[in-house]
Structure 1
Amino acid sequence: MYIYNLTSVVSIEVQKQWLDWLKNEYALSIKNKGQIDEIRVFKILNLEKEHTYAIHHQTSSPQNLMSFIQEDIPKIQAECFRKFSDKVLMFGTELKEIEL
């Protein structure tokens, strides 16, 4: 399993609007493209200042993951900046699941 973790630090000022955008626009757009098998969203609990989320984009294909990172992530970040300016900071990490 390959995962692209997109960490999002969200200002309290735009948290509700950002969550609405994430659920109603972002997730639907990603699912409709078919490169990502599953999206999971986690709220990071041990950070007190801002609201921080980890968005996991899972796929079994490394090619789909690379295509997603190269083609879709820049568009996602630009759209997020257009809607929320500097109230949301996003950065990504590529992960591969290791069997234990």
Structure 2
Amino acid sequence: MFIYNTTFVVNISSFDTWQKWLYTTCKPLIKNLVPASEVAVYEVMSIENEEERTVSVQWKVASPDDLDAINKQSPLMLKQMSSDFGEKVLFFSTILRSL
């Protein structure tokens, strides 16, 4: 099992618009790319900030090929998101595997 995780730090003023982007653009795009993938969305609770919310989006896949497909497509999608939201949404991605 592999996980492609992207953690987003979203300014409160943009959260609703970003969340709409997540569910109408990001999730469908990756799901169409890798139909067998599973997605989980979590709010990071260890960070308390009234001006921002931190969200972890995790794509679970079984094969290295599926992980590679997400790893290649995700930067393009995130670049477009960055041009739309600017510094109101910051992010970083990590790749995990189960031990």
Q: TM-score, normalised by structure 1?
A: 0.89
Q: Is the contact made by 2:34 and 2:70 (CA closer than 8 Å) also made in structure 1?
A: no
Structure 1 residue runs of 5 or longer lacking an equivalent are none
| 1:18-97 pair list within 5 angstroms | 18-34=18-34, 37-49=37-49, 50-69=52-71, 71-97=72-98
Q: Give the Cα–Cα distance (whole angstroms) in 2 for the partners of residues 25 and 66 of structure 1.
A: 20
Q: Is the contact made by 2:3 and 2:96 (CA closer than 8 Å) also made in structure 1?
A: yes
**1:25 CA drift (Å):** 1.3
Aligned identity (percent) is 31
1:45 counterpart SS class: coil
Q: Is the contact made by 1:6 and 1:92 (CA closer than 8 Å) also made in structure 2?
A: yes
**1:15 CA drift (Å):** 0.3
**1:67 CA drift (Å):** 2.8
Aligned length: 97
Q: CA RMSD of the aligned region, Å?
A: 1.3
Q: Is the contact made by 2:33 and 2:70 (CA closer than 8 Å) also made in structure 1?
A: no
The aligned counterpart of 1:14 is: 14
Cα–Cα, structure 1 residues 36 and 14, in superposed 2: closer, same or farther, change >3 Å?
farther
Q: TM-score, normalised by structure 2?
A: 0.90
Structure 2 residue runs of 5 or longer lacking an equivalent are none
